[in-house]
Amino acid sequence: MESLKQAIRERGNVLSDTVLKVDSFLNHQVDPKLINEIGQAFAERFKNEGITKVLTIESSGIAPSLVVATHLGVPFIFARKKKSLTMTDNVYRSQVYSFTKQETNEITVSKDLLHADDRVLIIDDFLANGQAAFGLCEIVEQAGAQVVGFGIVIEKSFQDGRKKLTDKGYRVESLARIQSFKNGTVQFVDEFVTQLSK
């Protein structure tokens, strides 16, 4: 998705060989025009899958998930990292380790919101090692529902999250696939492949 790649190039900040900061347009401050394009792109890719729910994890996945769900005309759910006072023990639970924050969170979704007949699209802002993705999968499986696929805004293709998911048979659609952050510069997979073929 060219507008997303442009935003990453112009407004993203490479902090290390593995960390990209995109808080000026995606996961702290949100660019409404770009997030709408992201939502449309995922809705178009998954429109024939009979999706009944969109699922994400708080908080960075909320903005893209809401827009995807709006375009698909279905509800969206976010797994909570902190237990709400209004949530009882009637929840699905999973443990998710964050490499960025170096901490493990228990995520929860109310059992009232996910059912065995649901076809679930999981959306997240980043895919790196796949920890959040598999945590959300576990919650969907506890409900007896089906994961239709994953919509990833930015994929770090140099890490093994995609391979782990596709090895399990999951469909993964990423709007920007990053090959490396070499020398503080973002190199996308398609650009890397083009260079190799020259």
Answer whether residue 187 shows pLDDT above 50: yes
Which residues define the annotated binding site for xanthine? Answer: 20, 27, 156
| β-pair partners for 146 | 119
How many structural domains compose the chain? 1
Instruction: Give pLDDT, residue 132.
Output: 93
Instruction: Give pLDDT, residue 102.
Output: 77
More reliable by pLDDT, 195 or 174:
174
* CA proximity to 181, closest of 15, 3, 26, 1: 15
**What's the CATH code of the domain at 10?**
3.40.50.2020
- In angstroms, rounded to a whole number, what is the distance separating the alpha carbons of residues 190 and 193? 5
* Domain carrying residue 121: 2-197
Mean pLDDT computed over 7-13:
96
- Inter-residue contact 170 to 147 (CB < 8 Å): yes
Q: pLDDT tens digit string along 51-103?
A: 999 999 998 999 999 999 999 999 999 999 876 666 668 999 999 987 767 78
- In angstroms, rounded to a whole number, what is the distance separating the alpha carbons of residues 74 and 33? 21
Q: How confident is the model at residue 198 (pLDDT cuts 50, 70, 90)?
A: very low
Backbone angles phi, psi at 9, to 5 degrees: -65, -45
- In angstroms, rounded to a whole number, what is the distance separating the alpha carbons of residues 176 and 26? 13
pTM: 0.93
Which residues define the annotated binding site? Answer: 20, 27, 128-132, 156
Which residues define the annotated binding site for 5-phospho-alpha-D-ribose 1-diphosphate? Answer: 128-132
Give ∠ CA 3-40-68 in degrees, rounded to 5.
120
Q: pLDDT tens digit string along 112-169?
A: 999 999 999 999 999 999 999 999 999 999 999 999 999 999 999 999 999 999 999 9
Q: How far is CA 33 from CA 2, 70, 196, in A?
A: 13, 14, 33
- In angstroms, rounded to a whole number, what is the distance separating the alpha carbons of residues 41 and 19? 24
Concatenate the DSSP letters of all residues of 120-180 into one string: EEEEEEEESSSHHHHHHHHHHHHTT-EEEEEEEEEEETTSSHHHHHHHTT--EEEEEEEEE
Answer whether residue 105 shows pLDDT above 90: no
- Inter-residue contact 172 to 162 (CB < 8 Å): yes
